[in-house]
Amino acid sequence: MVKLTINGKKVKAVEGSTVLEAARVNGVDIPTLCSNDALEGYGACRLCLVEITKNGRSTIEGSCTCPVEEGLVVKTDTAQVIEGRKLVIELLLNRCPNVKIVQQLAREYGIADSAFAWRKENEYCILCGLCVRVCNEVVGAGAIQFAGNGTEKVVDSPFHRSAEDCIACGSCAFVCPTGIIKKNDLETSALCTPEGCEQEGPKREILNWQVEYKLQECTKCGNPYAPVPHLDKLSKEFHSLPQFFNLCPSCRQYPVIDEDECLGCGSCMENCPVGALELDDRGGYDKKSKVYPQNCMACHTCEIYCPVGAIS
């Protein structure tokens, strides 16, 4: 553990953590728009400015990228820090005047309007980079990137065309602080041509990246629950069986064996892909199947192969 001081209070922090993390653990609020627990500190929005004093020298730094050190003195509410945050909020308000979180921050810091000359009336992206980073660092799809520079910088799919590498997982929409990334799950869809319309079932569309993919439907409850490309990627990465994704998370439960119906034939055990079933030999012809939950992946292959329907 590392000892440091935050706003006059001596605290402890895990070695290797950031000042922002240490502050949060100790109940000190520092505003930020580009921070997420699943991602490394990036320092894009610059809202998390704090004053750091080290070896008698004070600097203004972003707390999300500043690692904790022994004896560090941190102040989160000095006049210089507040002025720095106000400047950042003014720039954000100038770029994205209609974004609710930016408007809220402006009210909190007493900013009525931006004094900068340039202005974008219909811009909702604050360029925090959360969507790009989660797509690349967590999902590993690499479907979107930054493009352009200066005031023309945007987040976009390659060549502003359909993002072929997008798996429609929706992680980008989940982390977006402004809600500009639009993920829509459609209960039904159809491909219409002059010859007529062909029903294509439930789909997910992410309008920003111009993608639309079929949603996998649970074979038990019938509800669509995830895009097929997303499930294909997970199946390859975690070496899951194809039938593992036949069921939605709500229906994916460990199989239950009715011992009164079980014949002890061993068909379930022989066809279990992960060796989660064994025959409990009770002597003579008295054998019953037994599930070991620590090995079971709830694919319900055993249920398919049971000749008497003793597994549910």
Q: What are the pLDDT digits (tens) for 84-143?
A: 999 999 999 988 999 999 999 999 999 988 777 677 778 999 999 999 999 999 999 999
What's the pLDDT score for residue 21?
95
Residue 70 phi, psi (nearest 5): -60, 130
Same domain, 94 and 149: no
Among residues 160, 194, 216, the one where a domain terminates is 216
SS3 of residue 109 by DSSP: coil
Same domain, 201 and 262: no
What's the pLDDT score for residue 225?
92
Same domain, 48 and 105: yes
What's the pLDDT score for residue 111?
92
Rounded (10°) CA dihedral 243, 245, 246, 252: 100
Buried b (16+ CB within 10 A) or exposed e, 214-224: bbbbbeeeeeb
Assess contact for 25 and 37: CB atoms under 8 A. no
The residue among 11, 7, 36 whose CA lies nearest residue 26 is: 11
What's the pLDDT score for residue 145?
95
What's the pLDDT score for residue 228?
94
Average pLDDT, the chain: 90
Percent of residues, the chain, with pLDDT higher than 90: 63
Higher-confidence position of 178 and 287 = 178
Q: How confident is the model at residue 284 (pLDDT cuts 50, 70, 90)?
A: low
* Structural domain containing residue 166: 130-216
The answer to whether residue 244 is domain-embedded is no
- Residue 137: DSSP 8-state: I
